[in-house]
Amino acid sequence: MTSTPVKLTSTPSKTYTPSLTKTQVTYTASPTQTQTRTASPTHTKTPTRTLTPTPTQTPTRTFTPTNAGFCGSVTEISYTECAALVALYNSTNGSGWTNKTGWLANNTPCSWYGVTCSSGHVTGLVLHSNNLSGSLPAEIGDLTYLRSLFLNSNQLSGSIPSQIGNLTQLIQLYLDTNELSGSLPTSIGNLTALQTLMVSVNQLSGAIPSSIMNLTSLSTIRVGGGSNTLDADTTDATVRNWLTSKDANWTGN
């Protein structure tokens, strides 16, 4: 028996290649959520500023001749005479006087230091050596009943006001030993009742008015001395001779 060989045909194994189905994955991008943030503005707390008003300094009350609230309440002398005293106080630094007892502190001027009154008028004013400084006010001429005026030995400066000639009842006038300047006013000749005139030891200058010879009642006169350079008009020999006979200290220039 002849064996018929069996031819084995090898069928190649079928390789299974899996079919890969490409799945397309679509990513839908959710939009980034933008958070709208409303920024609340930072509130800077402004501190409440309390404005303290600058205190207005109330000036020290100065009594002046027009201060009706002061002299208007005075009854023992006239308003005019009271105002003249107040003017003198203000003009000569009354707050710095050595003795200012009563001055502008009460409404009875006749009780003030150095003031003498008679029959409702100021007749005497004695303030010598009392640290008066500054100038003599024009209102001094309103004290028309004055008989004695002693303002010597102080630090008075400036000129002698022409209103001094209104004091026609004046008997004694002491202005010596001060720092008064300028010349003697012509009105000095109105003081015909004057018995004593003292203006020496000042800084007076210029010609002495011829009206000074009207002072026929003079018993004592001092116009020279100190820094005074008073000089009578050289053409008026009568004035020069008159002064020489009255004031031994006067030499002229």
Q: Domains plus CATH for the chain?
A: 67-246 (3.80.10.10)
Spatial separation of the C-alpha atoms in residues 72 and 80, rounded to whole Å: 10
- Confidence (pLDDT) at 36: 44
Spatial separation of the C-alpha atoms in residues 149 and 165, rounded to whole Å: 13
Which tokens go with 93? 């630094």
Against a cut of 0.85, is the pTM above it? no
Q: Report the range out of 54-68, 95-109, 227-241 with the highest average pLDDT.
A: 95-109
Per-residue pLDDT band at 242 (split at 50, 70, 90): confident
Per-residue pLDDT band at 236 (split at 50, 70, 90): confident
Which tokens go with 132? 């008066």
Per-residue pLDDT band at 92 (split at 50, 70, 90): very high
Which run of H or of E encompasses 87? helix 79-91
- Confidence (pLDDT) at 31: 45
Q: Summarize the confidence of residues 227-252 as an average pLDDT.
A: 75
Least confident of 10-19, 121-130, 140-149, 172-181: 10-19
Q: Give the pairing type, strands 203-208 and 115-118.
A: unpaired
Per-residue pLDDT band at 240 (split at 50, 70, 90): confident
Spatial separation of the C-alpha atoms in residues 193 and 202, rounded to whole Å: 24
Which run of H or of E encompasses 196? strand 196-198
- Confidence (pLDDT) at 53: 52
Q: How many helices (H) and strands (E) does the chain have?
A: 3, 11
Higher pLDDT, 131 or 224: 131
Least confident of 55-64, 75-84, 206-215: 55-64
Least confident of 57-66, 116-125, 131-140, 204-213: 57-66
Which tokens go with 12? 């190649």
- Confidence (pLDDT) at 24: 47
Instruction: Indicate the Cα dihedral angle 216, 219, 224, 228, nearest 10°.
Output: -60
Reported as a single tens digit per residue, the pLDDT across 98-146 is 999 999 999 999 999 999 999 999 999 999 999 999 999 999 999 999 9
**Alpha carbon 80 to its chain's center:** 25
- Confidence (pLDDT) at 174: 99
Among 114, 214, 115, 224, smallest CA distance to 168 is for 214
> Over the chain, what is the mean pLDDT?
80
Q: Give the pairing type, strands 121-126 and 229-232.
A: unpaired
Residue 6 scores a pLDDT above 60: no
